[in-house]
Structure 1
Amino acid sequence: MEIIAGTTDIQLGQETAVALGKFDGIHIGHRRLLEEILSRKGRLAACVFTFDPPPAVLFGCSDGRELTTREEKRLLFGRMGVDILVEFPMNAVTAATPPEAFARDILAGQLQARFLAAGTDLSFGARGEGDAALLQRMGPELGFEVKTIDKVRMDGEEVSSTLVRAKVEEGDMESAGHMLGMPYMIAGKVVRGRQVGRTIGFPTVNVLPGADKLLPPNGVYFSQVRCGEKLYHAISNVGYKPTVTDERVMGVESYLYDFTGNLYGERVEVYLQAFRRPERRFQGLEALRAQLQEDIAAGRERCEKSYQNRPCQNNL
């Protein structure tokens, strides 16, 4: 996948099918946009156009924490088969671009768009005055077709990044996963921890999420961890590990059920499937070890019930 970032000077040598949006979370509504452009691959290059940073961050309406970080978006878009990802710089100058100029000069001109997929809530250009209706009016003149995708509803609610965010902040990982079309992901490089887990028989994989990653409440979660092409059942702790350290370093620590080896420096993906229990301080390592044994046994039982006669899902 070609990534174009940090520049407004976009030079493409091919015509494109473009999906427009913020794509925070890449939920099932976003996936419908992506299906539209991916179905046109071969005739047109599949292109995702998004803003970096998101408009809400630029205008002070967000704390900067995202459901899906820049690195995670790149990973997922590439895995889905997107040909070109444009991370268009969002600043005071670009935010003031008139919507008509944006459609004419950037979409039709620089991107050579021949097809556009957008949600009904699309807004762009100065003061957010550009929308899907404007693109549909300008499309015939500029040489592109526009398809507007309606909101997806689940359990009577419109699926949105805001709703997914609320579920993650509540620790309702099952609902968040259903709306995302996959379990909630935290990707990162494996770092060395204090290696206390090894001393009690539970070596773990440690990832330190960036400040731009939205995390669920501190606690223990049933999970899976992807290492390369392999996916392992796991149990993960999100938080500060108060039993083994007083340092306030937020991390995600995972014990992989059936893994032996060394992953230091490797990039992994942790998928949080369901909340198990809150994080808490134990009286000592033996008490922690006993609780971990209970957590892991509960996780194995859950795996057997949920995945009986089914292989591990490696298509996340």
Structure 2
Amino acid sequence: MSGSAWIARDKFRVYYIFTESRKTMEIIKDTTDFHIEGPSAIAIGKFDGIHKGHRKLLSDLIEEKNNGRKTVIFTFDPSPASFFAGHVVPGLTTREEKREWFLQNGIDVLIEFPMNEQTAATSPEEFVKRYLVDQMGAKYVAAGMDVSFGDKGRGDWKLLSALGKEYDFETHFIDKVELEGKEVSSTLIRQEVTNGNMEKVARLLGCPYTIHGVVSHGRALGRTIGIPTVNVIPSKEKLLPPNGVYYSVVHVGDKILRGMTNIGTKPTITDEDVVVSETYLYDFSGDLYDKDISVSLLSFKRPEMKFNSIDELKAQMSSDVENGRIYHHNMETSKHNWSE
């Protein structure tokens, strides 16, 4: 996610600026005391994964700009799952990934509404009146048919629709998108990630599952055995697939590089339990230390293994590299579209 920067305006508001495209998006966080000059078009949701269903909702939201409305995303931080669990529950999309996606797709304002004991106890009626109507000037509110809000999640699409009539704002609800006979949902996608079914995940998301991070310095073991890797420590917010080897592509700035990625703890060389993403890049030489990269996992190859020696590890990695080269050649030949 190179090319982006933060500029603080005050404690609770920041502007997110992507310097390459000069796009800006205001982010309101850590406060319930905010005001947006309406009229506004608002989409409410957790937006974990920003899958095909979310994209339909957001596409309709962006259209509201043509009606002179400010586009607003209303989401929650921490996520409801993390708040009620009392610890970080990894999801499909990190906070930074959501911010980047909304920015690049033309959202004007992102509200990261604080989840705490007080806000979680707000009645659905007060939630709509205070935040959507009084503080945001809502004239259009969009959500999925499974939307829930307010104390104990008592607010649903029926109540939101009724309150829209009372307070004079349009409501727009998106039905679940179906793929291969199943409803596309963040829950389903999380299950597929946990199972390591990256091809299915890509079809549900509309793009490959991607890990973002800054290249860190490792032990340089790969370099000493002729298979150098770029290493990223994934965010604790990111749900990871099973430890193992994956065929991948890596985005570095405007470059797209073919890769083979190991997700895991490197049990052959260390007893540490830190999970690292290590990627070998085909036909690449150079220094990527401290650079932002995106690692898209295309297909699961094999589980992570503990070998009896470095020589055994090297032999297996060499075999993986060759199999990966064949995989990438076949993918390029077939011109595979991951959104299908």
Q: Is TM-score (shorter-chain normalized) higher than 0.5?
A: yes
TM-score (norm 1): 0.93
Instruction: Specify the alignment match of 1:304 in structure 2.
Output: 329
Following superposition of structure 1 onto structure 2, how do residues 42-81 of structure 1 map, counting pairs within 5 Å? 42=66, 43-60=68-85, 64-81=89-106
| Cα drift, residue 240 of structure 1 | 0.7
Structure 1 distance, partners of 2:260, 2:245, is 7
Give the alignment's Cα RMSD to 1 decimal.
2.1
Partner residue of 1:8 out of 32, 47, 53:
32
Taking structure 1 as reference, are residues 237 and 302 closer, same or farther at Cα in structure 2, changes over 3 Å only? same
Q: Contact 2:38–2:138 at 8 Å: present in 1 too?
A: no
Do residues 228 (structure 1) and 253 (structure 2) align?
A: yes
Following superposition of structure 1 onto structure 2, how do residues 246-285 of structure 1 map, counting pairs within 5 Å? 246-285=271-310
Structure 1 distance, partners of 2:304, 2:140, is 48
Gaps of 5+ in 1: none
Instruction: Specify the alignment match of 1:100 in structure 2.
Output: 125
| Cα drift, residue 309 of structure 1 | 7.6
Identity %: 49
Structure 1 distance, partners of 2:313, 2:198, is 24
Instruction: Specify the alignment match of 2:203 in structure 1.
Output: 178
| Cα drift, residue 259 of structure 1 | 2.6
Structure 2 distance, partners of 1:311, 1:26, is 21
Q: Contact 1:108–1:143 at 8 Å: present in 2 too?
A: no
Alignment-mate amino acid for residue 190 of structure 2: R
Q: Contact 1:206–1:253 at 8 Å: present in 2 too?
A: yes
- Could you tell which deviates more after superposition, 3-12 or 89-98? 3-12
TM-score (norm 2): 0.86
- How many residue pairs get aligned? The number is 314
Gaps of 5+ in 2: 1-24
Structure 2 distance, partners of 1:22, 1:83, is 18
Following superposition of structure 1 onto structure 2, how do residues 209-228 of structure 1 map, counting pairs within 5 Å? 209-228=234-253
Q: Contact 1:232–1:312 at 8 Å: present in 2 too?
A: no
Q: Contact 2:260–2:281 at 8 Å: present in 1 too?
A: yes
| Cα drift, residue 250 of structure 1 | 0.9
Partner residue of 2:161 out of 118, 136, 147:
136
Q: CA offsets, 1:106-130, max 9 Å, x none?
A: 1122222221111011000112111
Q: CA offsets, 1:66-123, max 9 Å, x none?
A: 1111122112222223222111001111111111111121112222222111101100
